[in-house]
């Protein structure tokens, strides 16, 4: 159990740092092609951390799902407040403002492919992050299975 919490904390705090740095980056700098291109680095790191931690940790599949949920807890926490603002207070702009730090690392992807971000986008990101941790764990198990032991 300690291994799960340690790995979950590692993903949580790494994701928190990436989210805050990218939120400040995309808030301060004007959006142009150069900003979006450099912002792709945040996107790669944001998704790569989940896969990397899943691949270096010796976890079972259920444990990796728990670790992925712990790593995505920033999104869960902010989504609860955003859903409250959207559904109870009927303020869509406030809801998107609340949840924006969580999906800020993917702003380059958002600006390139999506016209409008809805309240469901961060929830999809949470499932992607959880599945990346699980895929990293599966990758590790496959690589360990095919390693030749001398």
Measuring CA to CA, which residue among 124, 128, 146 is closest to residue 136? Answer: 128
| pLDDT on residue 30 | 87
CA atoms of 116 and 27, how far apart (whole Å)? 17
| pLDDT on residue 148 | 59
pLDDT tens track, the chain, 150 positions:
888 888 889 899 999 999 999 999 988 988 888 888 888 999 999 999 999 998 998 889 999 999 999 989 988 899 999 989 999 999 989 998 999 899 889 888 887 887 788 888 888 999 999 999 999 999 998 888 887 554
| pLDDT on residue 62 | 93
Q: Residue 4 CB: number of other CB atoms within 10 A? A: 17
Q: Where are the domains of the chain?
A: 2-145
């Amino acid at each position: 159990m300690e291994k799960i919490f340690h790995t979950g904390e590692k993903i949580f705090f790494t994701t928190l740092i990436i989210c805050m740095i990218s939120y400040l980056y995309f808030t301060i700098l004007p959006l142009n092609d150069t900003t979006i291109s450099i912002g792709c680095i945040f996107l790669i790191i944001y998704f790569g951390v989940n896969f990397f931690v899943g691949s270096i940790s010796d976890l079972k599949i259920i444990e990796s799902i728990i670790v992925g949920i712990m790593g995505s807890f920033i999104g869960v926490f902010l989504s609860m407040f955003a859903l409250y603002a959207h559904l109870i207070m009927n303020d869509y702009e406030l809801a998107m403002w609340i949840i924006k730090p969580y999906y800020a690392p993917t702003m380059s992807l958002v600006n390139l492919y999506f016209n409008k971000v809805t309240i469901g986008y961060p929830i999809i990101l949470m499932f992607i992050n959880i599945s990346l941790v699980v895929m990293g764990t599966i990758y590790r198990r496959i690589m360990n299975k095919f390693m030749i032991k001398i």
